[in-house]
C-alpha cells in the first residue's frame, strides 16, 4: 500500500482518497507508528500529511529519520513537506510570512517532474506559518510563492518530493495531477486499484474467511448493507441469507426496492420479517423522541434475533455481515484486528453478546468506492445513490405519537416531495430532505368551498458533506410550489406546507 502518515490534520483521509482516485491503494496510519512498523507493511510509498503544528512547537509530532534511509519513496505535504525537508538536511524557519487559503504558485525552471507543463502561475490552497528556506542538497526546487521560496521540491534519484500546499483539496486544481505524477513518475507505482480489482480481492477474501459456513446480513435498505450483501453473495452465493425487517416506518416503495430490485440484481436469499404491527403496538401512546428511538431499537434487535435463531436452526450460520466503512475504522483507532460488534447498525445497535464472527467487506473502502462497487455488482442506481435515511425511519418524523394513519399520511407527502425533487434533477444537490408531519398541530385552511382543519408538514431540505454540519438548501421556488400544491391537493390530512430554513447547528437535520 501507499501509507499516509496522519500528523493530526483532517486532511489525511482525504489524501488517502485522492491516492485511491489515482487507482493506487492507500491507508491512513497514525504518526505514532514507528519507522519499523511502517516499513514492515512494505509500502510502495509513504506520504506525510499536513498537521496543525509548527515543526518547532513543543511536542510537535516528529518523523523518524530512519524513514528516509529505507529506499522507500516519500512525499511530503505541508507540515509533512517541512518534516521531510528537515530530515534531508534542508532548513525550515519562522520567517514570519504566513499563507492561508488561496495562493498563487509559480513554476520554477522546467517545473521538474511534478510541475512540468502546468500553468506557469496557478492557484493552490495553503495553510502554514513556517517556511522552507533552504532545500536539501541534491533537490530541485520546482515551485515557489512570494512567501515560500521552496513551495515544491523533488529529488527524483532518491525518490523524494514535497509541496508546501495541499494538493488533495479541490481548491488546488492541479493537485490531483501532481499527486498522480508523484505516484507514477517518481515512485514508479502502477495504478491497479480499480473497482473490478476491489471486487475480485474482496470476493476472494470473503471466500477464504467464510469457508463452507453460512452468513447472515441485515438489510436496512441503505447503500452500505446492500453493497456488503451483494459482495458476500458474489463470494458464497446461497450460503448467504439476508434478513430485512419491515418495521412499518419505511418510506413508500422501500420494501419493494429490497424485495424486488435488490433480489433481482443479486439473486440473494431474502427473508422479510413483517413486524409492522409489533412496532406499532410497541409505539402506541409514545411521543417522546428518545423513548421512540429506544423502543424501535429494542424491538428491532428482538425481531432480528428471532430471525437469527430460526436460521441457526437450519444451517451453520456463523458469520454476520456488517457494512462498516473505512472512515469508521480510522476514526475508531484504525485497528486491523478483529472488530467487536459496535453499535453502528442502522437501527439501535445489535446486542453485545451476539454469537457471530464478523465479515466486513467494506472495511477498507470509502463511501464513493462503495457506490462504485455497488454499480460494478449491478445494483440499481436507486439503491446505490440513495440518500441517507435514519434507522428509526418515519417514526422520528412524526412529531407526536406514531399511528398507522399518520404513517400513511407522512408516507404520501414524503413520496410526493421525493418525486418532485428527483424530476427537477435536484437529488445530487441535496444531502437529504426529510418531510416532517406535525401530527399534534392543527391549522385552519380552506379547500374548495369548505373549511379544513388539518396538519402541517415541514420540508427540511439540507446540503451537507457529512451530516455533522448542514445548511438548508435554497430550492427553486417553482419546485417548492409544485411540492406544496401537490401535497395539499393529494394528501387529505395535510392543508399546509412549511419550509425549514435552519442550518445545523443550531438545528439538527431530523426534527427528533
Ligand atoms: P441529525 O438529526 O442528528 O442527523 O442532524 C444527522 C444524520 O443522521 C441521520 N440520523 C440517524 N440515522 N439512526 C440512524 O441510522 C438514527 O437514530 C438517526 N438519527 C438521525 C439523519 O437522517 C442525518 O442524515
Mind listing the pLDDT tens digit for each residue in 398-424? 999 999 999 999 999 999 999 999 999
Q: What is the Cα–Cα distance from 196 to 372, expressed in whole angstroms?
A: 9
Mind listing the pLDDT tens digit for each residue in 319-330? 999 999 998 888
Mind listing the pLDDT tens digit for each residue in 120-159? 999 999 999 999 999 999 999 999 999 999 999 999 999 9
Q: How confident is the model at residue 350 (pLDDT cuts 50, 70, 90)?
A: low
In the residue annotation, 115 being an active-site residue is answered as no
Q: What is the Cα–Cα distance from 500 to 481, expressed in whole angstroms?
A: 15
| Whether the predicted pLDDT of 346 surpasses 90 | no
Which of 91, 186, 187 has its CA nearest to residue 130? 91
- Delimiting residues of CATH 3.40.50.620 domain(s) in the chain: 195-384
The binding-site residues of ligand 1, defined as CB within 6 angstroms of any ligand atom, are 293, 346, 388, 390-392, 432, 467, 504, 508-510
Mind listing the pLDDT tens digit for each residue in 66-103? 999 999 999 999 999 999 999 999 999 988 889 999 99
Do the Cβ atoms of 38 and 5 come closer than 8 Å?
A: yes
Average pLDDT over residues 198-213: 97
- Delimiting residues of CATH 3.30.300.10 domain(s) in the chain: 397-499
The domain 195-384 belongs to what CATH superfamily? HUPs (3.40.50.620)
Q: Is 163 within any annotated ligand binding site?
A: no
- Delimiting residues of CATH 3.40.50.880 domain(s) in the chain: 2-186
DSSP β-ladder status, 450-459 and 462-463? unpaired
Options 3.30.300.10, 3.30.830.10, 3.40.640.10, 3.40.30.10; CATH for 397-499 is 3.30.300.10
Average pLDDT over residues 379-384: 94
pLDDT of residue 333: 63
Which cell is 226 given?
A: 446492500
**Domain 2-186 falls under CATH 3.20.20.140:** no
Q: How confident is the model at residue 6 (pLDDT cuts 50, 70, 90)?
A: very high
DSSP β-ladder status, 140-144 and 99-107? antiparallel
Q: Is 224 within any annotated ligand binding site?
A: yes
In the residue annotation, 166 being an active-site residue is answered as yes
**Active-site residue (options: 21, 168, 360, 493):** 168
Look at residue 103 and give its three-state secondary structure: strand
> What separation in Å is there between the alpha carbon of 21 and the centre of ligand 1?
28
Mind listing the pLDDT tens digit for each residue in 330-341? 877 654 332 333
> What separation in Å is there between the alpha carbon of 323 and the centre of ligand 1?
17
For residue 512, the ligand 1 atom closest to its alpha carbon is 2
CA distances from 130 to 87, 160, 287 (A): 16, 20, 56
In the residue annotation, 168 being an active-site residue is answered as yes
Contacts of 185 (CB under 8 A, 6+ apart): 113
Which of 370, 430, 394, 351 has its CA nearest to residue 255? 394
Amino acid at each position: 500500500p501507499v501509507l499516509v502518515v496522519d500528523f493530526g490534520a483532517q486532511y489525511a483521509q482525504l489524501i488517502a482518497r485522492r491516492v485511491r482516485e489515482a487507482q493506487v491503494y492507500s491507508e491512513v496510519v497514525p504518526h505514532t507508528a514507528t519507522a519499523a512498523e511502517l516499513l514492515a507493511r512494505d509500502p510502495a510509498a509513504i506520504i506525510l500529511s499536513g498537521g496543525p503544528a509548527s515543526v518547532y512547537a513543543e511536542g510537535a509530532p516528529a518523523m523518524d529519520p530512519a524513514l528516509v534511509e529505507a529506499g522507500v519513496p516519500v512525499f511530503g505535504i505541508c507540515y509533512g513537506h517541512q518534516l521531510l525537508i528537515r530530515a534531508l538536511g534542508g532548513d525550515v524557519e519562522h520567517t514570519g510570512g504566513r499563507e492561508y487559503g488561496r495562493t498563487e504558485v509559480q513554476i520554477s525552471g522546467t517545473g521538474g517532474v511534478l510541475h512540468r507543463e502546468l500553468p506557469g502561475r496557478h492557484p493552490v490552497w495553503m495553510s502554514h506559518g513556517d517556511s522552507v528556506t533552504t532545500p536539501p542538497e541534491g533537490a530541485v526546487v520546482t515551485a515557489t510563492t512570494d512567501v515560500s521560496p521552496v513551495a515544491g521540491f523533488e529529488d527524483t534519484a532518491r525518490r523524494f518530493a514535497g509541496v508546501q500546499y495541499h494538493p488533495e483539496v479541490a481548491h488546488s486544481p492541479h493537485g490531483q495531477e501532481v499527486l498522480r505524477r508523484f505516484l507514477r513518475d517518481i515512485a514508479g507505482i502502477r495504478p491497479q486499484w480499480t473497482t473490478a480489482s476491489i471486487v475480485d480481492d474482496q470476493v476472494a477474501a470473503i471466500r477464504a474467511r467464510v469457508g463452507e459456513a453460512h452468513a447472515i446480513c441485515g438489510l436496512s435498505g441503505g447503500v452500505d448493507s446492500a453493497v456488503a450483501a451483494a459482495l458476500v453473495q458474489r463470494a458464497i452465493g446461497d450460503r448467504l441469507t439476508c434478513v430485512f425487517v419491515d418495521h412499518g416506518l419505511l418510506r413508500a416503495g422501500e420494501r419493494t426496492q429490497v424485495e424486488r430490485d435488490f433480489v433481482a440484481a443479486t439473486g440473494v436469499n431474502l427473508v422479510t420479517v413483517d413486524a409492522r404491527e409489533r412496532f406499532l403496538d410497541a409505539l402506541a401512546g409514545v411521543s417522546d423522541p428518545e423513548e421512540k428511538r429506544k423502543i424501535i431499537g429494542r424491538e428491532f434487535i428482538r425481531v432480528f434475533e428471532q430471525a437469527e435463531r430460526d436460521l441457526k436452526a437450519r444451517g451453520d450460520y456463523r458469520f454476520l455481515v456488517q457494512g462498516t466503512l473505512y472512515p469508521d475504522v480510522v476514526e475508531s483507532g484504525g485497528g486491523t484486528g478483529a472488530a467487536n460488534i459496535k453499535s453502528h447498525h442502522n437501527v439501535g445497535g445489535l446486542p453485545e453478546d451476539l454469537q457471530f464472527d464478523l465479515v466486513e467487506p467494506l472495511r477498507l473502502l470509502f463511501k464513493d468506492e462503495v457506490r462504485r462497487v455497488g454499480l460494478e455488482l449491478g445494483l440499481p442506481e436507486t439503491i446505490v445513490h440513495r440518500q441517507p435515511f435514519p434507522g428509526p425511519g418515519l417514526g422520528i418524523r412524526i412529531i407526536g405519537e406514531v399511528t398507522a394513519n399518520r404513517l400513511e399520511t407522512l408516507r404520501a407527502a414524503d413520496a410526493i416531495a421525493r418525486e418532485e425533487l428527483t424530476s427537477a434533477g435536484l437529488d445530487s444537490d441535496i444531502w437529504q430532505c426529510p418531510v416532517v408531519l406535525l401530527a399534534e398541530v392543527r391549522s385552519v385552511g380552506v379547500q374548495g368551498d369548505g373549511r379544513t382543519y388539518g396538519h402541517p408538514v415541514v420540508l427540511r431540505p439540507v446540503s451537507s458533506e457529512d451530516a455533522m454540519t448542514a445548511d438548508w438548501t435554497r430550492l427553486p421556488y417553482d419546485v417548492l410550489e409544485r411540492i406544496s400544491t401537490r401535497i395539499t391537493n393529494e394528501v387529505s390530512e395535510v392543508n399546509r406546507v412549511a419550509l425549514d430554513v435552519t442550518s445545523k447547528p443550531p438545528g439538527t437535520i431530523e426534527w427528533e
